[in-house]
Every structure is written in C-alpha cells, then in structure tokens.
Amino acid sequence: MHVPDGFINAPVSAVTGVVAAAAVAVSLRGARRELGASAGPGGSERTAPLAGLVAAFIFAVQMLNFPVAAGTSGHLLGGALAAILVGPYTGVLCVSVVLLMQGVLFADGGLTALGVNITDMAIVTVLVAYGLFRGLVKVLPRRRGSVTAASFVAALVSVPAAAVAFTAMYAIGGTTDVSIGKVASAMIGVHVLIGIGEAVITALTVGAVIAVRPDLVYGARGLSAPLKLRVGGELVDAPAQAPTPAPVAARSTRKVWITGIVASLVLAGFVSFYASANPDGLEKVAHDKGIDRKTEDHAAKDSPLADYGVKDISDARLSGGLAGVIGVGATVVVGSGVFYVVRRRRDHGATRSGQVQETA
C-alpha cells in the first residue's frame, strides 16, 4: 500500500507530513520507556538491536507479495507485528524507518507522499492494531495462546483500517475525479483479503517468538501465569516467597538476533524471487479506478537499487537478491542506530535525574 507521488495533492500531503512528524516525535519519547522497560544492565545494547531487527524483518517480509485474488497480490504492512513485539511507540518508528529506506533507496512510495505513507501504514495500523490487541488480551485467558490469537485479530483488522484511512485522505486530496464510493468498496474489499495474510504472518511470528523467548514480546509482558507447585498430586499457586528464575533481562538475546537476521536475509535475498509479481491491492485499485492517472515519477527513480534490483546486474535472481540483502542490512543498521540513540538518551536522562536526587 505504498502511495506514490501524485495520488494525493500537495496540501493534504503537507498536512499528513506534519502529522507524521508529530507522531514520530511523540514516538521517540515513548520509545525511550519501551526500550528501557525491563532492560536491566546493558539494556540498550540488547533492546536497540532487537528493535532494529524487527524493522529489518518487516522490510524483508514486505518483499514477499502473496496472491489474494485474480491479478492482485498483497504484502505485510507490519504495524501490528511491530507494536506487539516491541511496543506501539517503537512500532511506529520501526515501520517509519522501513518506509524511509524503501522510499530513498528503492523508489518505493513517493517522497512527497512519505507523510501519507507513514500516517497510513505506521500510525493508523499501530493505533488500531495495538488498541484492539490490548482490549482482547484483557478479556481472554491469561496465557500465551491468547496473545497469539489477539495478534491474529489485531493484524487482520489493521489492514482494512489502513485502506479506510487512505480512502479518507483520497476523498479530501485526491488528484483525480473518481467515485469515492467505488474506491472505498474496492480498497476495503481487497484489503480484507490481504488482512488475512497479514494476520497469519503476524500470528506465526509472534507465536514463534513467544515459544522461545516470551520475555521479548512487549505485548506479552505481565501476562505470565503464576508459578505452580505440585502438592499432594495437585497443582497450586506457589507462595510469593518461592524462588523465582533469574531476571529474563540478563539472558542473552544473541541467538534470537542472529536467527532473525538470517531469516530476514534468506527471505529478502532468496525467497523474494518467488513472490507474486501481480500488483498489490492499492496498485490494482488505482489502475482499475483511474486513481493513477496523475502519478508522478519518483525522485529516486534512477537510484542504483530502484524497483528492488541492483543496477547493471542483468540476472534478475541475483539482482533482486542483492537488493534485498542490501535493504535488510541498511534497515537494521539505521534502525538499530536510531533506537540505540533513543535508548542512550533515556539512560543519560535517568543518570542525570539520579545525580540531582543524590545532590539534593
């Protein structure tokens, strides 16, 4: 659902740019708390790379378009996945980093439409998905399976919600005269189908991480069941003073990080070659309804990596694979750098606060 330049007029693009900038600024402050929560000593060295990994994984999976209807494909948006894994504020930043990398390096999503894309694919999806997710986990049984189920539903709903948001923006600032009713029905219809794919990917990923390291899933914090002891053949809650495992923050995340990076590189560098070549939901609707009549050339159309291929490499498999690997590498470096700076600023602020209290 990457909106190119020319779909939305300049005034609305500017307004969404302001909205996106404000949301990113708020998210930078909120991410300080999320990245520091339960991090323990050396937390920035662990939580920042993990958040960068989530961004890189979303970039990789977005390259895997899957068929959803005749002549139409879909791909992960990632807002629900990022919010559940690393928190809503950090999730907005993760998806924003991905969109920035895609727009600047790969000419995917217009640069003047960057505010539109961040508003639609990062802010709307995270707000809808995480709000619904939190509501569901409060009423569902307090177990890991409930987190996975809530992830499925939240991701499913977030995609048509983004389609509704795009339709609203187009109704206000669309550059062509088309029936908004027809655009809305087409966008929502196809993105409900895409939402099913989003839900499956999100639930499988969240479920896989919960299975090995539930402490790393932000949305699962505080949901663990009490420690049980077997007394007289029956399981009972352990007393409060019972020994507890070592703090999970002290456990290494190296294996998780390496596994995630390898998976991202394989998906982007190899599996992406077999992705559906059909246009995604927005592209299909835009072509069928005439939304794309005033599409403008991308400012980075001559980029060496434009259209997810490496310039001057004729072999499509090698070109696309290298582009995917470069994209994963660039995203994890930029994302980890951003989150490391955010986390360091939190540590610095906490240190200064402690010094002031000691002085007082």
pLDDT band at 142 (very low <50, low <70, confident <90, very high): confident
- The one-letter amino acid at 246: A
Q: Name the pTM for this structure.
A: 0.89
What would the two tokens of residue 59 be?
């970039």
Of 116, 163, 92, nearest to 3 by C-alpha is: 116
Please tell me the predicted confidence (pLDDT) of residue 246: 46
pLDDT digits (tens, 9 = 90+) for 158-200: 999 999 999 999 999 999 999 999 999 999 999 999 999 999 9
Burial of residue 266 (number of CB atoms within 10 Å: 0-12, 13-18, 19+): middle
pLDDT band at 346 (very low <50, low <70, confident <90, very high): low
Q: Do the beta carbons of residue 47 and residue 342 sit within 8 Å?
A: no
pLDDT above 60 (res 351): no
* Average pLDDT score, the chain: 88
Q: Do the beta carbons of residue 134 and residue 37 sit within 8 Å?
A: no
pLDDT band at 118 (very low <50, low <70, confident <90, very high): very high
CA–CA separation, 270 vs 324, rounded Å? 8
- Beta-carbon contacts of residue 329 (< 8 Å; ≥ 6 apart): 56
pLDDT above 60 (res 248): no
Domains of the chain: 10-226+252-359 (1.10.1760.20)
pLDDT band at 231 (very low <50, low <70, confident <90, very high): low
pLDDT above 80 (res 238): no
Of the chain, the percentage scoring pLDDT greater than 70 comes to 85
pLDDT above 80 (res 221): yes
Please tell me the predicted confidence (pLDDT) of residue 259: 95
pLDDT above 70 (res 229): no
Burial of residue 359 (number of CB atoms within 10 Å: 0-12, 13-18, 19+): exposed
pLDDT band at 234 (very low <50, low <70, confident <90, very high): low
Angle between helices 88-106 and 10-36 (to 10 degrees): 130
